[in-house]
A and B are shown apart, each in its own frame.
Chain A
């Protein structure tokens, strides 16, 4: 029973991390219509930033930069900042590209970044990654309560992120983004400059994804370049499409649902051959779910709600 509970807590924690990513993606893709296939870039940068800031100095057999051993809060803030800066750097040349071009370029950046993580040993300890990262509050709480504490923290963060995203999409900035998404030339005649709006939302999504990356390090206690392949990007998109592109609650539902679908099978103990078979089967199921949703319920489980504008007289 204890094992099952811990497994559920672990699933919920990962679900919350994915939900943050889905909310970030929803902000830029659902709100502004940016087809960003490179969201894992910010996720990865945030994770490595957190690791490099909070890890102890490198051991002799390891090789990475920094390792300042700072507090987790600094790590989180750092992850958000570098996520936003990465978004700025990637966004400046790419945000003026349209649709498919933007999509391909963001994908390209994400892959280049992953190879940099893997190859630049002096910075990131290369393919081996940085491991043995301590989870915060290790000295304050007992090991058995740690997962629960983490879950509480990340759910609280998720709530904050949700509030932030809802606020941004609800007020003027969010409406401007939707206008740009629906009809860019018309929005421009209304005085909405596309580039500055896109850049701001891109940077916000980058910051949020960076924070999610930092939490991912908490969850795993290690960073390895292989964790930041474009699979993550496609998974987040899948989760968002299933939940409902353009709907923040859909993003939440999609994030948790996806993690449950993807990882619930992990609880089953299996031989290594069977495990390989199961993991391939999982991939098939995810692909099938994506195909089915797009075919039969393309707006997702929770479709985007059309904005209701009060017309004068009521």
Chain B
């Protein structure tokens, strides 16, 4: 039973962190290594806001907005100008950005482990078994809501359709009247905002430390690969699978191998079935890259 609970919570955080990564991968066609650091920034921003006396829920909203704006800024200032240079240049620019973000947080926050000042709560109990605390329930709910929200957004709204159109074939999309610049901004806002939110949740679940960005980068990468590079629905499923997979895995292996399991999954999936889970429903047609 514990595994189900931990897997659910773990999968929820991974889902929120990875959807954004998958979105920018699908829309822009490159791997944004700095995405993981957005979790770090989000977590520490949340700490900053709450330490200023802002109530926690409001701080959450602020973090999402700030994260989103930061994401758009980063895209416009650093990635958009060099899009023509190819994926390697974009990838290593994102590496540089990841270092800048990591360093800036380190400069201002120091290397001590920090934690959110939240009132401790007891887990809800059903039949004498503790299930989850209100925070954990909130996290799972947030993940379900974001997955649902993204799905509805992409399939029902005009903006969502324009994102999918631009990602699929930018020239045809332009002919039909979709403005790629506009849709790009929305993608980056949503992706980064969600990542920042996931970062706060990660901080709520554990403590904040400077390595959390890189640690999550690994897991995000694993989820994205497992789901299928460029498939948003694939990554949603993969996040849950990975969450459960890691919790089950550490039953058999030492706990320090937890992220190694994520990496091992990457290797196995890429060597055996590079298209990932999305091939279950016939995703992965021609990729942009």
Contact = CB atoms under 8 A, between A and B. Distances in A.
Contacts of A294: 82, 85, 89, 92-93, 96
B31 interface: yes
Contacts of B82: 294-295, 298
A100 interface: yes
B100 to A, nearest CB: 4
A108 B99 contact: no
Interface stretch (B6-14, B131-139, B169-177, B258-266): B258-266
Interface stretch (A3-11, A76-84, A91-99, A167-175): A91-99
A276 B271 contact: no
Task: Report which residue of B87, B105, B257, B267 has the largest number of chain A beta carbons within 10 angstroms of its beta carbon.
Answer: B267
B110 A101 contact: no
Contact of A100 (B31, B81, B95): B31
Interface in B252-288: 254, 256-257, 259-260, 263-264, 266-267, 270-271, 274
B130 interface: no
Task: Report which residue of A93, A116, A284 has the largest number of chain B beta carbons within 10 angstroms of its beta carbon.
Answer: A284
A115 B257 contact: yes
Contact of B95 (A116, A285, A290, A295): A290
Interface secondary structure of B, over-half rule: helix
B149 interface: no
Task: Report which residue of A97, A101, A103, A285 has the largest number of chain B beta carbons within 10 angstroms of its beta carbon.
Answer: A101
Contacts of A148: none
Contacts of B260: 111-112, 115-116
Interface in A100-154: 100-101, 103-105, 107-109, 111-112, 115-116, 118-119
Contacts of A104: 31, 221, 225, 266, 270
B206 interface: no
A93 B264 CA distance: 13
Given A115-B256, A280-B106, A298-B85, A101 B99 contact: no
A143 to B, nearest CB: 34
B271 A295 contact: no
Contact of A111 (B78, B89, B104, B259): B259
B126 interface: no
B218 interface: yes
B93 A290 contact: yes
Contacts of B78: 291, 295
Contacts of A69: none
A195 interface: no
B72 to A, nearest CB: 17
Interface in B197-255: 218, 221-222, 225, 229, 254
A111 B260 CA distance: 7
Interface residues of A, number: 42
A287 interface: yes
A112 B107 CA distance: 29
Contact of B263 (A111, A280, A295): A111
A35 interface: yes
Interface stretch (A19-27, A210-218, A234-242, A302-310): A234-242
B65 interface: no
B93 A115 contact: no
A166 interface: no
Interface in A220-244: 234, 237-238, 241
Interface in B64-97: 78, 81-82, 85, 87-89, 91-93, 95-97
Contact of B256 (A118, A281, A287, A290): A118
Nearest to B29: A100
A120 to B, nearest CB: 10
Contacts of B98: 287
Given A109-B263, A115-B260, 18 more contacts: A93-B271, A94-B270, A100-B289, A103-B91, A104-B31, A104-B266, A108-B266, A115-B256, A116-B260, A119-B256, A119-B257, A276-B110, A287-B95, A287-B96, A287-B98, A287-B103, A291-B100, A294-B92
12 contacts: A97-B270, A100-B289, A108-B267, A108-B270, A111-B218, A112-B264, A119-B257, A234-B99, A276-B110, A276-B111, A285-B103, A298-B89
Interface of B: 31, 78, 81-82, 85, 87-89, 91-93, 95-107, 110-111, 218, 221-222, 225, 229, 254, 256-257, 259-260, 263-264, 266-267, 270-271, 274, 289
Interface of A: 35, 93-94, 97, 99-101, 103-105, 107-109, 111-112, 115-116, 118-119, 234, 237-238, 241, 273, 276-277, 279-291, 294-295, 298
